[in-house]
Amino acid sequence: MEKPILEVQNLCIRYNGAPVDAVRGVSFTLGRERLGIVGESGSGKSTVGRALLRLLPGARVTADRMQFEDLDLLGLSERQMLKVRGRRMSMILQDPKFSLNPIQRVGHQVAETFLRHFSVSKAEAKTKTLEMLAAVKIRDPERVHDLYPHEISGGMGQRVMIAMMLLADPDLVIADEPTSALDVTVRLQVLTILDGLVRDRGIGLIMISHDLNLVRNFCDRVLIMYAGRVVETLDARSMDQAQHPYTRGLLAAQPRIGGPRQPLAVLDRRPEWKEEPAQ
């Protein structure tokens, strides 16, 4: 059996001053596959992703094990993590408005990762940047390279973020709602790029999303999170056979084209879901 890329056991996260943990007892493994994490806003999905990259300075992060390939992520110093972030593990953030530096040109920001982690000239980094911008279906990458973030659309900004995170060819990509600002056509193109990285390069991909249909059709496995816990783990193609009432409630709350024209189901949240073992 192939060794997993990532192993997480009993991950707990508490923000400073908070009375309870934001994430409790989360455990999962990731192979060379596409793993989806879904749940409502506030369920802890993005917090888990940021914890893997050690991007939660205002929180206490503990785990029995948080192993990424040959690295114990909890045991690394910040200096060591700087060599991991962007190069071996990267995160596509959700909103380019808050992730891109407004006073730096787009191309310079994309090239920064390549210049930081590889011994290349600025000309070589620019060539690689233009190739990556073209790969995420940005028309006229030469022109976009010299624009500032406020001069591009939200969808184009999202593609710039994707290009930035994939430029250094990482082994693990955490994608936090990577297609939320994209139209349907470009969304399919971006998902094809991510799918190709998993199939052709054998990377691990964690897809954080609210879109159950996207996760069901794109991912291999799915973690369902509720109130900071994983309540169910499913094969993505078998989501309709979900056993946990929370997962069934999420599925029932989705509008369906051609479905019955009646009020959508409302989630019936139960206190015991916060404590019962994951299914």
- pLDDT per position as a tens digit, 176-213: 988 776 777 777 877 888 888 888 888 899 999 988 88
In a domain, 221, yes or no: yes
Amino acid letter at 78?
E
Measured CA to CA, the distance from residue 272 to residue 63 in angstroms comes to 23
Whether 208 and 177 have beta carbons less than 8 Å apart is answered as: yes
pLDDT value at 131 more than 90: yes
In a domain, 107, yes or no: no
Angle between helices 106-117 and 154-166 (to 10 degrees): 10
pLDDT value at 169 more than 80: yes
What does the CA dihedral 223, 164, 161, 28 come to, rounded to 10 degrees? 10
**pLDDT given at position 1:** 53
**pLDDT given at position 256:** 74
pLDDT value at 14 more than 90: yes
In a domain, 256, yes or no: yes
pLDDT value at 94 more than 80: no
Averaged pLDDT for residues 66-94: 92
Which band of pLDDT confidence, cut at 50, 70 and 90, is reported for residue 277?
low
To the question of pTM greater than 0.75 for the whole model, the response is yes
- 67 phi, psi to nearest 5 deg: -105, 125
Whether 89 and 30 have beta carbons less than 8 Å apart is answered as: no
In a domain, 21, yes or no: yes
> How does the average pLDDT of the chain come out, rounded?
89
- Containing domain of residue 278, as a range? 1-88+205-279
CA angle (81, 19, 65) in 5-degree steps: 35
In a domain, 62, yes or no: yes
**pLDDT given at position 181:** 65
Averaged pLDDT for residues 120-124: 93
For residue 80, the domain's CATH number is 3.40.50.300
State the total domains in the chain. 1
In a domain, 127, yes or no: no
In a domain, 184, yes or no: no
In a domain, 182, yes or no: no
